[in-house]
Chain A
Amino acid sequence: MGAHPTVRAEEQQLRCVMLLAAVVGPPLAGAFRERPAKPTAFRKFYERGDFPIALEHDGKGNRIAWKVEIEKLDYHHYLPLFFDGLCETVHPYQFFARQGVHDMLEHGGAKILPVIPQLIIPIKNALNTRNRKVICTTLKVLQHLVVSADMVGEALVPYYRQILPILNIFKNMNINSGDGIDYSQQKRENIGDLIQETLEVFECYGGEDAFINIKYMVPTYESCLLK
């Protein structure tokens, strides 16, 4: 004898509910998940003593003392290595990389432009770590790089497709604190604001093609020059 139609309908309904209960949402894509960088060439060279730098402790904190004049350094060899160290998060590697990059950009002049293609991979690696502090440091370094010498901003334009996608992910990372004060803004550690600042610097120093290339990679960016 077959089951009663009412019982059959109830069984079907129960099966449907169980199927619905088994449906789960898609897994997290992990766009914001931090991805620690593998050991850098910077750390290897530093531990071998290949860098002409020493750490000095003064009353204000730490400072770099150069054993060789920066003007005499081979920028093709050292500058990419220092940029590679931007991924570091541990002292003293992080400090040396950051301060070393700053000093070399400040005093490099015309020696910086020919090295730009070799800097793109280290910059991309630093941004791809998705570590907030590393990204903030890298953005400040990018701003310094663009203004460090003539034509550097324009030389970076062909590489926007490699370095801007990560900025697109973090561009809206601004805290909604209501009427509270966001101190990370005045300390220049707010990623959303830093990205906006960096893109504006890129546009100012990147020449005529800069805006369209930025817009292609970061569609929500609005020009700061064409207003």
Chain B
Amino acid sequence: MACVSRVDGNAKPKSMSRAKQWTGEVENLYRFQQAGYRDELEYKQVKQVERIDRWPETGFVKKLQRRDNTFYYYNRKRECDDRDVHKVKVYTY
């Protein structure tokens, strides 16, 4: 999994692999990639925000602003189906 918290804000990923099974982290990566970002780190780099809107119960991403400044809203429950899990890219830094 990508270790985002201790990485420098301008870091580039060293490698990429595909997710094998669904977890909460994979769900969030799926949501970031739907919006056109690699992961939370790139979103914070591009949008210059500190915090990301999340659902309090599940911790999943709730709202993201895309590069064209439109907004994607996500459900509080899981959106990434099992058939889409292998499409999620996991970056390591």
Q: Chain A interface (Cβ within 8 Å of chain B)?
A: 54, 58-60, 63-70, 103, 106-107
Contacts of A107 in B (CB 8 A): 62-63, 73
The chain A residue with its CB closest to the CB of B80 is A60
Q: Chain B interface (Cβ within 8 Å of chain A)?
A: 34, 62-63, 66, 68-73, 75-76, 84, 87
Task: Kindly name the residue among A60, A64, A70 whose own CB sees the greatest number of chain B CB atoms within 10 A.
Answer: A60
- Closest CB in chain B relative to A169 CB, distance in Å: 32
Q: Are B34 and A65 in contact (CB under 8 A)?
A: no
From A58, A60, A66, give the contact of B71 (CB < 8 A).
A66
Instruction: Known contacts A60-B84, A65-B66; decide if A70 and B73 are in contact (CB<8 Å).
Output: yes
Q: Are B84 and A65 in contact (CB under 8 A)?
A: no
With the chains together, A103 CA to B62 CA distance in Å?
Answer: 11
- Closest CB in chain A relative to B50 CB, distance in Å: 18
- Closest CB in chain B relative to A119 CB, distance in Å: 20
With the chains together, A93 CA to B37 CA distance in Å?
Answer: 29
The chain A residue with its CB closest to the CB of B65 is A69
Q: Are B66 and A58 in contact (CB under 8 A)?
A: no
The chain B residue with its CB closest to the CB of A103 is B73
The chain A residue with its CB closest to the CB of B62 is A107
A-B contact count (CB 8 A): 32
Contacts of B62 in A (CB 8 A): 107
Contacts of B73 in A (CB 8 A): 64, 66, 70, 103, 106-107
| Known contacts A63-B34, A64-B73, then 13 further A-B pairs from the complex at CB < 8 Å, ordered by chain A residue | A59-B84, A65-B68, A65-B70, A66-B70, A66-B72, A68-B71, A70-B71, A103-B73, A106-B73, A106-B75, A106-B76, A107-B63, A107-B73
With the chains together, A106 CA to B60 CA distance in Å?
Answer: 14
- Closest CB in chain B relative to A82 CB, distance in Å: 14
Contacts of A63 in B (CB 8 A): 34, 72
Instruction: Known contacts A65-B66, A106-B76; decide if A59 and B71 are in contact (CB<8 Å).
Output: no
Instruction: Known contacts A58-B34, A59-B87; decide if A65 and B71 are in contact (CB<8 Å).
Output: yes
Task: Kindly name the residue among B63, B76, B84 whose own CB sees the greatest number of chain A CB atoms within 10 A.
Answer: B63
Task: Kindly name the residue among B66, B69, B71, B87 whose own CB sees the greatest number of chain A CB atoms within 10 A.
Answer: B71
The chain B residue with its CB closest to the CB of A59 is B87
Contacts of B72 in A (CB 8 A): 63, 65-66
With the chains together, A69 CA to B69 CA distance in Å?
Answer: 10
The chain A residue with its CB closest to the CB of B72 is A65
Contacts of A103 in B (CB 8 A): 73
With the chains together, A58 CA to B87 CA distance in Å?
Answer: 13
Instruction: Known contacts A60-B84, A63-B34; decide if A54 and B71 are in contact (CB<8 Å).
Output: no
Contacts of A58 in B (CB 8 A): 34
With the chains together, A102 CA to B84 CA distance in Å?
Answer: 22
